[in-house]
Amino acid sequence: MSTDSLASAATGSGSDVAQAIDRSALAFALAALALGTLIIGYEVSARMAALFVIGAGLGMALLHGAFGFTAGWRRAIVHRDGRGLRAQLWVIGVTALLFIPLINGFAPAGLSPQGAIAPVGTSLVVGAFLFGLGMQLGNGCGSGTLFTLGGGSARMMITLVAFIVGSVIGSVHMPWWLDQPGFDPVNLATAASLPGALVLSLAGLAFVGWITLKREAGGAAREAAGGHRFLRGPWPFLWAGAALVLLNLATLLIAGHPWTITYGFALWGAKAAQAVGIDMSVYEFWQWPQGANALQASLLTDVTSVMNIGLVLGAMTAAALAGTFAKSSLPDARSAIGAILGGLLMGYGARLGFGCNIGAFLGGIASGSLHGWIWFGAAFLGTLAGIRLRPRFGLSN
Amino acid sequence: MARPLLFGFLALGLVLMLADHLLSPPIHVGAGAADTTACAPCGAPCPSTR
């Protein structure tokens, strides 16, 4: 099942008949969530257990809201339907209003959250382009891969494994890419003052939103009317967007940094490589303090990994409640090749580009970092190329 | 066919994560507490060395 078909299932656009609750999937997801919360709370900390639950909330919001970045961008380009993209822009804008002051000296006493602020250069541009291309072939970005996997997409098992492999290769190559032309991170709040950063960020988002509206002129799409239910879904974009903003804010305050996804994939792959005898610590990326520590420590102490697992289980809970879990069949060979290629490109691109739609696009722009905007532009170009390639892999536009 | 595979895939992921935890060095006291000097895990060198 793709993000599109999940979206259709979540919004009920394909049928008015309510699906029965999937009791076995619901039992699996709830048992894993309850056990996971207990184990993480006991073995690591209450803080990490809270982040696990926040991840589950994000997964539920993404699935019930069918909040897919990949399909949103594609619909804006191919069908001139910018609703999904504008929902993303709203989420980023509201998040920026909260994040930019918080990470620039206006956090509650005792907290000093860090923004997602990364370098700008060749690595970022190439990585984001490859990611944008890969997400159209993989049929889901970082969050999309996880929430559709939790929603029961068999194809996403393939995409995720390839994503992890690509992330490891990207981590090995990344130091070389960082040696190519580029410059240090640019925090707009430092470069243009805090109010300036807010104005620039919101004006940029408004401009992109205006372009999508202009393209829709005369044929503006409207959200389909229909019943919305909190537990069983579907959720309107407003509910899902509000949940994403609040849960990302909770992540910033509790974890000390914005919500991220793809760093965890690189770590999972590096740990798997170590398990089969490949010494990842010889590679520079895994010698940097953050990577070296993560490689040694339990995955349960890694915020990104813990939230990713919570996200999958939250999406599985939502899909089970909606009765849409695992309704797809296994992909054919052509589609599977697209999933592998898309996953590899996303994994490699996410490392070079410092994240995915969540870590770089949402997290970067909402942190007032210039790299978020460069990432958006390059990934959008990659998506244009990916859209042209999708039919070759049996994917419709 | 896809459904049992999905359950197996997800269960395997959870088991591997738990196994990694059990095989990792013990967590020191205070692990998981907010680290105010933490870097955002975007993958850039942090603290910056390049």
Question: For the segment A313-338, what is each residue's pLDDT rounded down to a tens digit?
Answer: 999 999 999 999 998 889 999 999 99
> How much is the ipTM here?
0.91
Q: Is the pLDDT of residue A268 over 80?
A: yes
CB contact under 8 A, A28 and B1: no
Q: Which of B20, B42, B49, B50 to mutate to test the interface with A (most CBs of A within 10 A)?
A: B42
Q: What is the 3-state secondary structure (H, E, C) of A27-54?
A: HHHHHHHHHHHHHHHHHCCHHHHHHHHH
pLDDT score recorded for residue B42: 82
| A20/B48: higher pLDDT | A20
Angle between helices A194-216 and A83-102 (to 10 degrees): 180
pLDDT of residue B33: 44
Percent of chain A with pLDDT strictly greater than 90: 88
The pair of structure tokens assigned to B11 is 């269960």
CB contact under 8 A, B40 and A290: no
Task: Pick the residue of A35, A43, A280, A311 with the most B CBs within 10 A to test the interface with B by mutation.
Answer: A43
Q: What is the mean pLDDT of chain A?
A: 93
Whether B44 sits inside 8 A of A185 (CB atoms) is yes
Statement: residue A128 has pLDDT above 50: yes
Residue of B nearest to A120 (CA): B44
Q: What is the pLDDT of residues A170-222, one digit of tens each?
A: 999 999 999 999 999 999 999 999 999 999 999 999 999 999 999 987 555 55
- Using CB atoms, pick whichever of A184, A256, A300 lies closest to residue B35: A256
Q: Do B5 and A28 touch (CB under 8 A)?
A: no
The 10s digit of each residue's pLDDT in A328-365 is 889 999 999 999 999 999 999 999 999 999 999 999 99
Indicate whether A253 pLDDT > 60.
yes
CA of A80 vs chain B CAs: smallest distance (Å): 32
Q: What is the mean pLDDT of residues B36-42?
A: 64
Comparing B9 with A11, the larger pLDDT belongs to B9
pLDDT at position A329: 87
Tell me whether residues A111 and B36 touch, CB distance under 8 A.
Answer: yes
Torsion of CA A9, A15, A16, A21, to 10 degrees: -50
Asked if residue A2 has pLDDT above 70, the reply is: no
**Who's near A15: CB < 8 A, 6+ residues apart?**
none
